[in-house]
Structures are given as C-alpha cells and as structure tokens.
Amino acid sequence: MAPDRLFAGLFAHGDGAAQATDRALLDAMVEVEVALLEALADLRLAPAEAARELADAVASGNLELDLDELGRATGQQGTPVPGLLRALRRQIGSAASTHLHKGATSQDVIDTAIMLVARRALDSIVADLGEAGDACAALVERHRAALVPGRTLLQQALPVTFGLKAAGWLSGLDGSTATLATIRDHELAVQFGGAVGTLASLGERGLEVGAGIAARLGLATAELPWHAIRLRPARLAAGLGITLGLLGKIGRDVVLLAQTEVGEAGEGGGEGRGGSSTMPHKRNPVGAVALVACAQRGPGLVATMLAAMAQEHERGAGGWQAEWETLLELLRLTGSGAAIAKELLAGLQVDPEKMRSDMDITGGLVMSESVAAALADSQGRSNAQDLVEAAARRSVEAGRGFRDVLLERPEVTDVLGAAGLDAALDPAGYLGVTSELIDRAVAAHRGP
C-alpha cells in the first residue's frame, strides 16, 4: 500500500500500487545511475572503482535521500536529477562522484526510472490480474448453468447464465492482462540519448552504453532514443486506461447485482468489510465501488498523457513534465484495481436462487422470443411473432399470466401442447451457444 494517502485502501491498494510511489521512483533513479556507471565501467569508459563505490554506497542502505528536499529542488531546476546528483555526491566516493551520470541527461534518468517502476508495477499487476482471472474462471465453472436474466439497457431481455456473464468478464481480464504483459515485455525500454539524443559526450560508444544499461536493468533497448517521441509512455498509459475501463465494467456489474432489490450477488470479505454499524442489513459493495472509482479516474489521466505527446523539439517544455505524476497515478490506480478485483472475485457470493427467481418477474414474457421461435415452423416467422406479441400485450394489459393467455390460443395448444409451451417458456432451453462460449473463455484462460 502506498503510504500517507488517506484513501490508499481504495486507490493505492496492493502490490502494484506499492511499486509506483514517489519513493520507488527515486530509488529507481538511483538504480539507473548505478546501471549507467556499471555499464560505463564494463566498457572501460569509467574506472571500475567508480562503479564499485556507487554500488557499495547504494547497497549499504545508508544513503540518505530526503524526498522533501529533492522535491523542493525540482522547482529550482525543473527536474529532481540535479538535486539527486548533489545528494549522491555528498555520500559517495570521489571516483564515483567524478563519473556519476556521465553521458546522461536528466531525461535519460527519469524516463528510464519510470520504465523501471512500470516494469515492477506491471509484474504485480499482471500477477494480480491473473489471479483475478483464476477466481473469475472458478465462478464461470461453478455457475455455468445458473440462469439469470440477461439485461439490456438494464431491462430484462432474454436468459443467460451467470457463468456466461462471468465468462465475459474473464475474456476481458485475459485480454487486458495480455495487453499489459506485452507492454511490459516490449514497450518498456531504456531511454538513453544524452542532452539532445546524440550521445555526443560518449563519442561513438553511446549505444553500447545504452545497451549495457538495458541489460543490467532488464529493460528493452530502443531503436532510437525516444526523448521527444512519446509512443512508449502513451502506449503504457493507454494499456493501463483500458484495463481500468474493463475493471470498471466488472465493478459496475457487481454494484448492480448487489442492489438491495436485485441481491443476486454480494461481496464477501472479513469482519466489518462494507458493513454499517447503524444499518446492519447493509453490506456495501465496497470493492466493486472502488473498482468503479478507480476506473472513473483513468480516462482523464490517459487524456493527459496523450495531450502531452506533442513535445517540442528535443525535450518537451511542459508536456514531458506533465507525464511524471500522471503515469505514476495510472500505475497506482491500475495496481489498486487489479488487487481489489482479485479479492472481489475470489470472495464474490452468488445467489443462484435469487437469479432464477428474477427470471420470473415478467411472468414469462422474457421468453416470448423463444415461444415465437417454437411456433415459427408451423406458422411462419411473421405470424408467430404477431401471435406472441398479441398475447404478450394482452398479458400485460389484463395482468394475466403469459402462459395462461397463450394456452387459450389453439395455434399454440395444437402445435406445442402445454408441455411444448412449457419447454418454450423454460429459460434453460433457450440459451443458444452459452455453453460453447463458456468453454471457449475457460479454455482461453487456461491457455494451450
């Protein structure tokens, strides 16, 4: 959990969010400086002693880097890097001090450190989403046949099963997870270009140094420095935003299922979770609400990242800087959402009886398409529809059961009989390819 945040339990929950704090970014900046100096030493562009001094100082755990002081210095020079270098130089040996940051510019350090933070956060997020998918797959299988009204525009339309509904969530989770894993593995590259992208101060060795940094940090190398071509952060932001959108879909569905009047599902969770001491009948869908809330904050932040792409010449004058906290926030929100989704889906309490009984609210009208289909062979599609519509209207207007009204019609009794009509009115018999779709979703989740 990210520290010192009053709303951390909602917006900075779980491992992914914990990887994306300001402190984590600062630590990553130090790691970038270490990797740079080690890469320089490997190529004999800096003495091995310098690299060792720096690595030792970092490994000692005694480095003091004051976030408040560095934060203030950011206002003086536009990035925290000069302040960080000053603070490091006060605490490391003279060889390290001399060669620290050689060949790099502030942007190299910040961009690469953000990529590193993103890599670690995505590791956690992908893992949490994977577990959320596992929990969802278990729901799919447990409730694959549990009838529930399919709802369009929040109106009951035709039957589905809760398994199919959860299969939709599952396919979305798997799709999001795959997208983020791809981004983690291919988009997160070292930025190393020096002041303007030419690496001039390293002569002809700059690209080798960059490759060395990438190898040490476990990041990809980029074809070209990307200091002013911001496809990588934009794609990362978009992937996070899309994942948040998907989590918001799941959260909203659960909020709706958990309504007092619907009560088809509810959140589990330990003592006190979502409870209200003054209203003991209430169990607030806290996790689902948190998912919706995280999701609602995504689009605006993604918009900021996209709007920031038009960065001037060799370093943006405002756009680049606007990315920093925005990207960290997106990582935290997605991390929090993934962790919450995992817990929510693992603990979701499903009430198949309530689902089944909600199928009956319309007195069978929800099955009218099925009845029309059953009559289509004998009467033609059009006539069958007309007959059913008339019966449905009569049922609604007269307040009589749809089945009763239908049984008065000889076209129905002659062709289907009461048993045939009951079959046509049975939601379980009108599920189309539900089972096959569920199989597909589960198989895709399990992988080859």
Q: Which residues are catalytic?
A: 276, 315
Nearest to 18 by CA among 128, 104, 131, 157: 128
Given phi > 0 = left and psi -120 to 50 = alpha, else beta, which region is 154?
left
Task: Give the Cα separation of 184 and 202 in Å (integer).
Answer: 29
Asked if residues 191 and 227 have their Cβ atoms less than 8 Å apart, the reply is yes
Site pattern 226..255 for a copy of itself (x: CB under 8 A):
x-xxxx--xx--xx-xx-xxx-xx-xxx-x
List the Cα angle 165/166/172 in 5-degree steps.
Answer: 100
Asked if residues 290 and 336 have their Cβ atoms less than 8 Å apart, the reply is yes
Nearest to 35 by CA among 49, 55, 20: 55
Site pattern 48..87 for a copy of itself (x: CB under 8 A):
-------------------xx-xxxxxxxxx-x-x-----
- When asked if residue 99 is in the footprint of a copy of itself (CB under 8 A), the reply is yes
- When asked if residue 153 is in the footprint of a copy of itself (CB under 8 A), the reply is yes
One of 280, 399, 447, 448 touching a copy of itself (CB under 8 A): 280
- When asked if residue 304 is in the footprint of a copy of itself (CB under 8 A), the reply is yes
Residue nearer to a copy of itself on the CB measure, 112 or 179: 179
- When asked if residue 318 is in the footprint of a copy of itself (CB under 8 A), the reply is yes
One of 185, 408, 433, 446 touching a copy of itself (CB under 8 A): 433
Residue nearer to a copy of itself on the CB measure, 181 or 306: 306
Residue nearer to a copy of itself on the CB measure, 219 or 295: 295
- When asked if residue 89 is in the footprint of a copy of itself (CB under 8 A), the reply is no
Tell me the residue type at 316.
G
- When asked if residue 393 is in the footprint of a copy of itself (CB under 8 A), the reply is yes
Residues 113-152 that bind a copy of itself (CB under 8 A): 149-152
Shortest Cβ 36–a copy of itself spacing (Å) = 15
- When asked if residue 370 is in the footprint of a copy of itself (CB under 8 A), the reply is yes
Task: Give the Cα separation of 254 and 292 in Å (integer).
Answer: 10
The window from 32-40, 122-130, 133-141, 358-366 that contacts a copy of itself (CB under 8 A) reads 358-366
3-class state of residue 416 by DSSP? coil
Residue 188's contacts (CB-CB under 8 Å, 6 or more residues apart) are 115, 116, 118, 119, 122, 219, 220, 232, 236
- When asked if residue 262 is in the footprint of a copy of itself (CB under 8 A), the reply is yes
Shortest Cβ 418–a copy of itself spacing (Å) = 21
Nearest to 314 by CA among 234, 206, 203, 199: 199
Asked if residues 150 and 157 have their Cβ atoms less than 8 Å apart, the reply is yes
Q: With contacts defined by CB under 8 A, how many residues of the chain interact with a copy of itself?
A: 178
The two three-digit tokens of residue 140, written as one number: 């799919």
